[in-house]
Amino acid sequence: MANVKKLTSVTVFSTGEGKRVSGTYSEITEDGDLVGNNNKFNFIALDQELLDHISAIEIAAQSKIGGED
């Protein structure tokens, strides 16, 4: 069985290229041993469905603090 990769954080922020998604994850063996911690990844969101989901999260977060979008 392959190691399990467990997502530990996700961040989305605006850059000159567009919406950048970055995150970290841990890698765990089938026996539960930690073989990788704080591994990082990032990519620019290009898929419209993903961009729509990001927008929905941003709108919901803004509504929690009030104010304008």
Contact 40, 32 (CB under 8 A): no
Q: pTM of the predicted model, to two decimals?
A: 0.81
- DSSP 8-state class, residue 67: S
Q: Give residue-wise pLDDT tens across range 30-62.
A: 999 999 999 999 999 999 999 999 999 999 999
Q: Is the pLDDT of residue 69 over 80?
A: no
Domain ranges within the chain, ordered by starting residue: 4-65
* Buried/exposed code over 18-46 (b: 16+ C-beta within 10 A; e: otherwise): ebebeeebbebeeeeeeeeeeeeeeeebe
Helix, strand or coil for residue 42?
Answer: strand
